[in-house]
Amino acid sequence: MRNFRNPGIQVSKNQKLDRIGKFCLLILVLVVMFFLYNQTEAQNQEETPTSVLFNNQKKPEPADKIASTIELGAQDVELTLKNQEQEQTEQEQTQTRRLTFRGSSYYNTNSEDYETVEQNLALLKAISAELEGTKMEPMIETIANFDQETAALIVGIAKIESGFNRCNGYNCWGYAGGGLYMSDPVKAVKLVGKKIQQYNEQGLNTPSKIVYIWKCGDSSCATHSKESVSRWINTSTGPWRRIMNCKQD
């Protein structure tokens, strides 16, 4: 006999079975997907080359390349040490020359003209032999900076004009008639030396030639006695000749 009071009981049981079936099917699908995923990962790991796994790692350098690098480094160090030794030797030799050269106080590391003077030690020695102990001693290095002919005339003219000591300040050449006072020895030599050098380049390169323009102011020396002209030439020629005859390095 049918139960007409509760007709939905049968329908409710069917729904429960349907839900259970769907749930089981979902579980089955998930299991299959998980299984397929694991299989795919395993295949990818088998197919991946070993080099790909270490592509971000730096490959070790070959032994021969390392040895070559070490050898080059050693050569650089050796070359640097040799250069340092050579520089030190040159410095010591230069210092020795400075200390042994006549023991003169003016020959020192503070000289602005040292590099040029060093190339002409013979000229420097000849000039110092004439001027050491005189008022012109502070001018020795600056005079040695000029060429040999000019330097010889600078010293020779100063000998007759002032005897190296009777100077107007440091005007020891009777420059500008002797009335020009010069307070700085180096500037004095540069000024007068430049003028003498100009005459030298014009061919007035000996005391007997420059006497006309320096002492007399004309080409005849008619206003001066022959004795005074001869004395001027003879007195200036002595130091001029000694400097001109010095052996240059």
Domain map of the chain by residue range? 114-244
Confidence (pLDDT) at 109: 40
Q: Quick one: pLDDT at residue 32?
A: 81
- Residue 94 pLDDT: 53
Residue 242: per-residue pLDDT: 95
Tokens of 224: 């001066």
CA distance 240 to 156: 5
Q: Write down the pTM of the prediction.
A: 0.55
Q: Tell me the helices (H) and strands (E) count for the chain, helix number first.
A: 10, 0
pLDDT recorded at residue 115: 52
Q: What are the backbone dihedrals phi and psi of residue 182, each rounded to the nearest 5 degrees, phi first?
A: -120, 120
Residues in Cβ contact with 55 at an 8 Å cutoff, skipping those fewer than 6 apart: none
Residue 150, both tokens = 């000019």
pLDDT of amino acid 143: 96
pLDDT value of residue 218:
83
**Among the listed residues 192, 181, 63, the one whose alpha carbon sits nearest the alpha carbon of residue 139:** 192
pLDDT by residue for the chain (249 residues), tens only, comes to: 444 444 544 556 677 777 787 788 888 888 888 888 777 777 766 655 544 444 545 555 555 655 566 666 666 666 777 777 777 766 665 554 443 444 343 444 444 455 544 557 889 999 999 999 999 999 999 999 999 999 999 999 999 999 999 999 999 999 998 899 999 999 999 999 999 999 999 999 999 999 999 999 888 888 899 999 999 999 999 999 999 998 654
